[in-house]
Amino acid sequence: MPRCFWCNDDPLYIAYHDTEWGVPLKDPAALFELLLLEGFQAGLSWITVLKKRERYREVLFGFDPQRLARMSDEEIEQRMQDPGIIRNLLKLKAARQNAQAWLRLDDPAVLLWSFVGGAPKVNHFSERGQVPAVTPEAEAMSKALKKAGFTFVGPTICYAFMQAAGMVMDHTIDCDRYRELTA
C-alpha cells in the first residue's frame, strides 16, 4: 500500500498511519489525549510518543482531564521516575495545566474545529515539500489556546495536531489513505 513519505516500516507507525492519522476526530476525550501527546512529542520523533502512548494512558489516568487537573506535584515527581514515558518535568506539568485549561473551555471540540470552519480542510499535496509545518489556522489555534491557559501548544504543535485529528487532510495524493479519506 502506498503511504505518506513520513511513514516508516515500524508496524506501530504503519498502523497509526493506516487507521488514525488524518481521520476526522470530534470526540473531546480523544482530542484531549492527542493534544497532550503532541505536546509530549515536542523536540522528539512521533514514533517515540507512539511507543510510550499506552504507558501514558496508564500513568495519566487515561487522559481524564478531571483527574489529570488534580495531579499533585508529588504524583508528577513519581512519574518522573517512570522510564515508560518521556521524563520531562515541564511537559508533565504542562499536561496538568492543559487539563485545567481544557476544563475551563465551554466546548473544547467546537473550539478546536472552529479554526478550520468545523469541517476538514482537504489539501492536495503531491510531494513532501508542499506540506507546511505551520499555517495561519495553526497560528490562530496556538494563540487562542495560549490565551486560554494552555502551554506546549505552539503553532507547529498545533498544526501537527490538526493533521493528526483530521482537521486538515495532509495525506499526499499518492497515498492510499488520501483516496480513502477523500472518497
**Residues with catalytic function:** 16, 38, 46
64 closest CA partner among 26, 107, 105, 28:
28
- 121 phi and psi angles, rounded to 5 deg: -95, 115
Record the cell numbers describing residue 137, joined without a space: 489556522
**DSSP characters for 79-102?**
HTT-TTS---HHHHHHHHHHHHHH
Provide CB contacts within 8 A for 137, sequence distance 6+. 115, 116, 121, 159, 162, 168
**DSSP characters for 37-74?**
HHHHHTTS-HHHHHHHHHHHHHHTGGG-HHHHHT--HH
37 closest CA partner among 15, 20, 24:
20
